[in-house]
Amino acid sequence: MIDVQQAEGSSAHSSQRSALPLVNTRLWNSGFLSREEQNALQNAVSPARSVGPNIDLVREGDRTDSLFIVIKGWACRYTTTKDGARQLPALLVPGDVGNLDSLMFDRLDYGVRTLTQATIVALPRDRALALAAQYPGIGRTFTWAALVENTILSKWALSLGRRSARERLAHLLCELSVRLNAGDGNESSFACPLTQEQLADALGLTSVHVNRTMQQLRNDGMVETENRTMTLPDVAGLRRIGGFDPDYLHIKSPAQTQLAE
């Protein structure tokens, strides 16, 4: 069995090369796992594998029997209408689970696709369910993860239904800033590999309009983009624009994460 304690400190910020890929993932940081449960979960996942950009981990409507956890890189869930319009119900950053639904459903009604080169581990459904039944903390962690996703999705629905393009974009950028743990005083900066078309698919807009809206935010000094890096010089202002309140993300940074028991 892998001993978590031993390697934990040194690998906290380089999980992609670690033998402990789950460190700092959402499941790991739920706060419900005892050390024993962390070990059990760690031992259940497949070795990390590297995947190129724009590769489907699961296609829309496909069957799968594994959960895919993003260790490094970005991915997304995508859905399409019968006319081919695309809407992303989720952006996945390191630590996120791509398809929690596969825990319960054979068939996914969305696809999961990498956006960048990414490192992925798989957790077989059977093992996940067995662990959930055996360890209360693991079962609780799955429920918690599903509910966090639900919360994020509710906010997206609010944006899609009721916010202007400017507000939507501001809100999403604020959300990403927090989820990537990229805060630093009132300024935030993070690598954002999304094309404007991908942003548009997340925001329910066209890429043309995302472009114009982004320019407006740039002119207002709220955003700087340069070489796939997104800088938010005035996070407080951007939050005001987007009506963003970070509490809903239920983020537990590594520092806050506690072991159960």
Partner DNA sequence: CGGTTCGTTGAGGCCCATCAATCTATGTGG
Partner DNA sequence: CCACATAGATTGATGGGCCTCAACGAACCG
Taking CB within 5 to 8 Å according to partner kind, which of a copy of itself, DNA, none is near residue 250? a copy of itself
Q: Could you say whether residue 133 binds a copy of itself (CB under 8 A)?
A: yes
Within 10 angstroms of residue 233's Cβ, the number of other Cβ atoms is: 14
251 touching a copy of itself, by CB under 8 A = no
> What is residue 33's DSSP assignment?
-
Among 12, 55, 146, 260, binds a copy of itself (CB under 8 A): 146
Q: What are phi and psi of 219, to 5 degrees?
A: -60, -30
Question: Which residue from 215, 229, 253, 258 is in contact with DNA, where contact means CB under 7 A?
Answer: 215
* 143: contact with a copy of itself by CB under 8 A: yes
In the complex, least distance from residue 232 CB atom to a copy of itself, rounded to whole angstroms: 19
**Partners of 112 in the β-ladder:** 58, 77
Classify 44 as helix, strand or coil. Answer: helix
Reported as half-sphere exposure (CB side, CA atoms, 13 A), residue 195 has a value of 10
* Among 93, 170, 205, 238, interactor with DNA by CB under 7 A: 205
**Residue closer to a copy of itself (CB basis): 53 or 89:** 89
Q: Determine which residue in the list 6, 49, 52, 105 makes contact with a copy of itself, applying CB under 8 A.
A: 105
Q: Where in 225-244 is the site for a copy of itself (CB under 8 A)?
A: 243
Find, among 204, 29, 21, 202, the residue nearest to 113 by Cα: 202
Closest residue by Cα to residue 68 from 106, 40, 96, 89: 96
Total residue count of the chain as it appears in this document:
261
The H or E element spanning position 20 is none
Binding site for a copy of itself (CB under 8 A): 77, 79, 81-83, 85-87, 89, 100-101, 103-105, 107, 109-110, 129, 132-133, 136, 139-140, 142-144, 146-147, 149-151, 153-158, 160-163, 167, 203-204, 243, 247-248, 250
